[in-house]
Amino acid sequence: MRNIYIVVIALLFMLEDYLMELELRGHSKNTIRNYGYSLSNFFDYTNRKPELVTESDIKRYMIHLKNEKNATNRTVHRHLNALRSFFRYKDNDIADKIMLPKLSKPLPKFLTKEEISILLEKPPKLRDKCIIRLLYSTGLRVSELVNLNKKDVKSDSIHVVSGKGSKDRIVFVDSKTREMLFKYLLERKDTKDALFLSNHEKRISPRTIQWLIKKYSEDSGIDKIVTPHVLRHSFATHMLEGDADIVVIKELLGHSNLSTTQIYTHITDERRKKVYEKAHPLSKE
């Protein structure tokens, strides 16, 4: 019993050390939490020390997730990615040898320009107008928006520190949104640093923003589930349709790899195809 206790304590320290390493590398809190959850579940299932884990152990765990836990392929991939990351940290490529089928990336959902126009006019409150306009105008992640401070707002741009790897970048703001934003700041009587405050005068939360966008989109009669990320997708899609360079869009979105941004080219290809099929005489024969 004492030996089992020692092994468990050693494993806990090892996992804690690994998760601290992820934090030092700039991974988001969500990633760290999810990886910790995946690793704890895996070692609980196998009941083995990391150095004794085999390929078969990992495969059995993946099958266990699918058959016993009804996990989707995407969830199984997420658990495997956590194991790959952990074992690489231990200079062990055992998890890299496990191959899973490639996941097809779903096309991002976005609003039409007409739907955006309706949504932007819906909020009666200046703060809410600014929030929705800023998400669409800049393509910011909701986590980036809630962490903005007053000092980050410049004359025609905003300085952003991303939650994804803490990469600084500059995003630009259209003139009408800038005017609304400066008016909102002038109306503020507090000395708080946060750019956007809740009704309780605390930094606004992502959940509150999600709720506001859902409410206003439903009030606008938009027959889609609208989230802050849908506004980010709409920004990228409409920029690409306006012939913006995809490399510029990548930088504005704060993507590390161009391949992440290139998914938006598929959206515009689909839309062009639909326009072609609707408009060209031969497509109706």
* pTM given for the model: 0.66
**What's the pLDDT at 8?**
57
**What's the pLDDT at 278?**
76
**Residues 109, 100 contacting (CB under 8 angstroms):** no
Instruction: Give SS3 for 136.
Output: helix
| Active site (catalytic) residues | 141, 164, 229, 232, 255, 264
Residue 103 has φ and ψ, to the nearest 5°, of: -90, 135
Residue (of 19, 62, 61) closest to 44 by Cα position: 61
Long-range contacts of 111-119 (CB under 8 A, 24+ apart): 111/222, 111/224, 111/226, 111/230, 111/231, 111/234, 113/238, 115/220, 115/222, 115/224, 116/234, 116/238, 118/220, 118/221, 118/222, 119/216, 119/217, 119/220, 119/222, 119/226
CA distance to 35, 172, 195, 234, per residue, from 156 (Å): 39, 6, 16, 21
| 102 conformational bin, left if phi > 0, alpha if psi -120 to 50, beta if neither | beta
The pLDDT tens digits along the chain (285 residues) read 444 444 456 778 889 999 999 988 888 888 899 999 999 999 999 988 899 999 999 999 999 999 999 998 889 999 999 999 999 999 999 999 998 877 777 778 999 999 999 999 999 999 999 999 999 999 999 999 999 999 999 988 999 986 555 578 999 999 999 999 999 999 998 999 999 999 999 999 999 999 999 999 999 999 999 999 999 999 999 999 888 999 999 999 999 889 889 888 877 777 777 777 777 677 666
CA distance to 5, 38, 71, 150, 153, per residue, from 93 (Å): 27, 18, 24, 46, 45
**Residues 187, 126 contacting (CB under 8 angstroms):** yes
Per-residue pLDDT tens digits for 148-160: 999 999 988 999 9
Measured CA to CA, the distance from residue 94 to residue 197 in angstroms comes to: 48
Per-residue pLDDT tens digits for 46-100: 988 899 999 999 999 999 999 999 998 889 999 999 999 999 999 999 999 998 8
**What's the pLDDT at 168?**
85
**Hunting for tokens 């909020």 — which residue is that?**
123
**Residues 218, 114 contacting (CB under 8 angstroms):** no
**Residues 190, 201 contacting (CB under 8 angstroms):** yes
In the chain the domains, ranked by start, together with CATH numbers, are: 2-97 (1.10.150.130), 113-278 (1.10.443.10)
Helix 113-121 and helix 126-138: axis angle, to 10°?
Answer: 160
**Hunting for tokens 């083995």 — which residue is that?**
48
**What's the pLDDT at 149?**
96
**What's the pLDDT at 197?**
96
**Residues 146, 206 contacting (CB under 8 angstroms):** yes
